[in-house]
Amino acid sequence: MTEASRGGRAEGHRGAFGEFGGEAGGFIDRAFREKIVLVGVAVPAQATTAVEESLGELARLVETAGADPVHSVLQRRDRIDPATYVGRGKALEVRDIAEQYDADTVVFDDELSPAQQYNLEGILGRTAIDRTTVILDIFAQNASSTEGKVQVELAQLRYRLPRLRGSGYRLSQQAGGIGARGPGETQLEVDRRRLLRRISTLEARLRGIRRHRGVQARRRRRSAQSTVAIVGYTNAGKSSLLNALCGAEAHVEDRLFATLDALTRRLDLPGGETVLLVDTVGFVRKLPHEFVEAFMSTLEVAGDADLLMHVVDASAADCEGQVQAVREVLEVIGAAKVPELLVFNKLDATDGAEHLLAAHPGSVAVSAVSGAGLEHLTAVIGDRLRAAAATAEFVVPFSRGEVMAGLHRSSQVLSETATGDGMRYRVRIDDASAARFADFRCPAAGNAAGADGGDC
């Protein structure tokens, strides 16, 4: 096959998968399963085994997106080639491999710059895309809620904007009138302006969603109801664990990014408290920054939570690598300071949970399928939340029944004793709720009692 013209696929090659984002809504209709060649590069700072594992994960991503990986190419280089990512010689070799397998698309394990993608397509004679494209395509397939679809479309448009290609003056709009003659506005400029308008509209919609979530978070804080956010690597079993703990009906499937939309359920703890358990979208290595920016309204629930339940697939080949990848994303979204509870799931599928528990003191091992360890997990969640809440004492006059009821609603009452001035309460309570009852707080707890409070 002769080399295609620069910037285009060889004639006769299909490309439903490769025509990423071709539709206005960004959703892709596949009439066939494409054959995909995968390419990864290991630079000196990276171990070959780590790149091999990353390519294996990329193969799973491609399968999830609806295509068939037929061959993988791993190259060692001193540095990434700025023009073609792999160098022209290796690109020609990849082209020969793609022709041998009659592959429709070549997928690269790292994000390609617009120039690299343009140059590679000219050499390969077929579509060249990257891991980011595959992940965004999976999001487009799995988003079901209105919010999820808006977030996916925004991520796609932000990725597509710098990769717009036009045909110059050939597609220009002719301007008329004195002083306005000339080639006019190119189609590329029209497309860029249209994308920018759409991005602005979607960003405004997401700002509204974030404001609504902020109102909900303030209501939760006023009600003193704790929130536990379930975070973790994709396909670690987060939704299965939510179903097992709360009897929820979250969608569960053995595939990457099966769940994109946040789901909240109530969980009753052994101590009698009720907390909100929130399932979040899974993370993955080399998560596109477009994803993090677009999904910030969903991911912020992790930063606002009282506890992060970090679910890890105990049967995964690289548990530690997945834990680190999740923590890197938590750092980006501002949730790294939230207390974390490591939960090693899929205990039924591995015999090596003991060394994971030993390596991470305070962690818990469970099986969402068999139910093993779930009672211990709920007890540990309760202990962690209670330990994070401050202890305070209040004395409330007998005539202030509404204050007594408010304390019971807003805190965990550890003890209550009748005194000559009223009821004396010792409670676990967060700072925001404690401020509401400052007039009744005992001096021993840090504040002087107010005029309405009893003698502590």
DSSP output for 201-261: HHHHHHHHHHHHHHHHHHHHHHTT--EEEEEEBTTSSHHHHHHHHH-------SSTT---S
Res 26: pLDDT: 37
Res 171: pLDDT: 44
Sign for the pseudo-dihedral over CA of 387, 389, 395, 399: negative
pTM greater than the 0.95 cutoff: no
Res 230: pLDDT: 92
Q: Which fold has domain 35-141?
A: Rossmann fold (3.40.50)
Sign for the pseudo-dihedral over CA of 187, 193, 198, 202: positive
Res 367: pLDDT: 92
* CATH 3.30.70.240 domain position(s) in the chain: 389-445
Res 374: pLDDT: 93
Q: Does residue 118 sit in helix, strand or coil?
A: helix
225-387 belongs to which homologous superfamily? P-loop containing nucleotide triphosphate hydrolases (3.40.50.300)
What are 255-289's pLDDT values in tens digits?
Answer: 566 666 667 888 888 877 788 898 887 888 887 77
List average pLDDT for each run of 10 residues in the chain, which is 456 residues long. 43 46 39 86 84 90 90 93 94 96 92 92 92 86 77 86 62 49 64 89 86 69 74 88 79 60 82 83 79 73 87 88 90 88 90 86 92 92 81 90 86 83 84 83 55 52
* CATH 3.40.50.11060 domain position(s) in the chain: 35-141
Q: Do 13 and 104 form a contact (C-beta atoms < 8 A)?
A: yes
CATH of domain 389-445: 3.30.70.240
Q: Which long-range contacts (CB under 8 A, 24 or more apart) does 58-65 make?
A: 58/107, 58/109, 58/131, 58/134, 60/256, 61/131, 61/134, 61/135, 61/138, 61/256, 61/284, 62/36, 62/38, 62/107, 62/134, 64/138, 64/255, 64/256, 64/257, 65/17, 65/134, 65/137, 65/138, 65/141
Angle (CA) 311 67 147, round 5°? 50
